[in-house]
Amino acid sequence: MVTFLQQVLNGLTLGCIYALVALGYTLVYGILELINFAHGDLVMIGALVSLSLVRALLGWGAPLSVALAGGLAGAIGVCVLVGVALERLAYRPLRHAPKLAPLITAIGMSMVLEQGSALLWGRGYHSFPDLGLTHALSWGGVVISPLQGVIVLGSLCLLGGLLWLVQRSALGRAMRATAQNPVAAQLLGVDTERVITLAFVVGAALAAVAGLMVGAYYQVAHYTMGFMLGLKAFTAAVLGGIGNLSGAVLGGILLGLLEALGAGYLGDWTGNLFGSNYKDVFSFATLILVLVFHPSGLLGRHAPEKV
């Protein structure tokens, strides 16, 4: 029971991070039907920028809270700039091109961001400064760190806020209208290019937050970390039904739980033939099963473009 609760807690932490990243995929897909494969690399940039800033600020003697706030703000700023630049320079010129062109461009942009980051930060692993938030509190045998609490609560607030924005605000209404029929939205005075930019801005900001969280959680950042994380979050978005925001949240959390529980029990089930290092298998087996048997996902409406 303790193992189970522990893995649920770990899975929830991971799942919240996946959900934040998955929202970035699904926001853009919902409007442009583009799978922005460079999105995972924004998380990597968020992690590396926040790591560098937190380390620098701590080095100058700033208190932890100031260093974290500065790291977060810097990461959000840089990620938003990169996200908007991607949209303007790479995707907007291809707006009316066949769908495969922006998709391939997205894969190319992912490489550009990775190799660009390798130039700036080098190809080595960077360890995240100790935030002092990782000392564990034991709670009936279940170990929880304050950092996990911050990640789960922070993500849930952001997810709730975003769902409110999209489902209840006038801006969100314009976003949903643009996703359903961009021409009709223009005919009602919606600047659809601005709505598209906004989807990239929101997605990039969430990726920045996820980058700081994932860097702090695993205490490491690396220029290729965005690839696997991006793929997992994409899986989460597909699992929930790509283009559907609540689906992305649900898919992210389910995937996190699945991975953590799988990793926790796989060794026992298979007589230690397979260990927790096989946890990625769960995510990608899920992706394949969803794509084969229910491509519209749990809450989705229509099948996504094949990729």
User: What pairing do the DSSP bridges indicate for beta strands 126-127 and 137-139?
Assistant: unpaired
Sole window of 42-50, 67-75, 177-185, 197-205 interacting with other proteins (rule: CB under 8 A): 177-185
Candidate list 119, 187, 273, 292; residue touching other proteins; CB under 8 A: 187
Candidate list 118, 173, 220, 295; residue touching other proteins; CB under 8 A: 173
How far is residue 14's CA from residue 102's CA, in Å, rounded to a whole number? 30
We find the least distance from the C-beta atom of residue 301 to other proteins, in angstroms, to be: 8
Note whether 180 binds other proteins by CB under 8 A.
yes
Burial 16-25 (b: 16+ CB within 10 A, else e): bbbbbbbbbb
Note whether 296 binds other proteins by CB under 8 A.
no
Give how far the C-alpha of residue 234 lies from the chain's centroid of Cα atoms, to the nearest Å: 8
Structure tokens at 272: 């230690």
Candidate list 59, 89, 130, 191; residue touching other proteins; CB under 8 A: 191
CB contact at 8 A, 10 and 149: no
How far CA 28 is from CA of 180, 199, 241, in Å, comes to 13, 6, 13
Note whether 1 binds other proteins by CB under 8 A.
no
Sole window of 103-111, 167-175, 250-258, 271-279 interacting with other proteins (rule: CB under 8 A): 167-175
Sole window of 151-159, 176-184, 215-223, 232-240 interacting with other proteins (rule: CB under 8 A): 176-184
Candidate list 183, 268, 272, 292; residue touching other proteins; CB under 8 A: 183
CB contact at 8 A, 57 and 66: yes
Binding-site ranges for other proteins (CB under 8 A): 170, 173-174, 176-177, 180-181, 183-192, 301
